Amino acid sequence: MTGFAWLLQWPIRAIVLLVVASLPLGVEFEDFGAALLSAGAIGLLGTLLTLPLKALFLLPWAVSSLGGLIQPISLLFNWIITAILFGLAAGMVDGFRLKNGIFSVLLGALAYSIISTVSLRLLGLMS
């Protein structure tokens, strides 16, 4: 991805958040502005915290996945990191609520990851 392609991803990820909110997972947004701020917060938190979180989980990940040989374990750790970022963003942004607590965090993060990855790949904004 070159240059400012992330600027194109930002509103698409906000729309994905609204799609996730339409599912019965307990994820709620007041309006598109809250979803846009939330998408930005998730992106910013991901930029700042993904590497430290991966460092924190390095030993359990390496042991449980045999150094990355067992792919589902790696996906599980990535999902946990996404859930942490999703929950932190909900705590930071007014108008972004997780009605069912950890259930909403875990399933909302999973739905957000899958839908945004598929959407961005279909649009050619992610490799």
Ramachandran angles phi, psi of 29, nearest 5°: -130, 140
- pLDDT recorded at residue 109: 96
The per-residue pLDDT for 3 is 59
Q: What is the mean pLDDT of the chain?
A: 91
**Do the beta carbons of residue 79 and residue 109 sit within 8 Å?**
yes
* pLDDT exceeds cutoff 90 at 35: yes
Rounded CA gap, 51 and 55, in Å? 6
Q: Which range marks the domain in which residue 34 is found?
A: 5-122
Using pLDDT thresholds of 50, 70 and 90, give the confidence band for residue 107. very high
- What pLDDT was estimated at residue 95? 97
Within a domain: 127? no
Let me know the angle formed at the C-alpha of 64 by 71 and 103, rounded to the nearest 5 degrees: 75
Decide if pLDDT at 1 tops 60.
no
- Name which residue leads in pLDDT, 8 or 91: 91
Residue 57 within a domain: yes
Amino acid at 86: F
> What span, in angstroms and rounded, lies between the C-alpha atoms of 2 and 19?
27
Q: What is the pLDDT of residues 56-81, one digit of tens each?
A: 998 988 888 887 788 888 888 889 99
* Domain count within the chain: 1
pTM, full prediction: 0.88
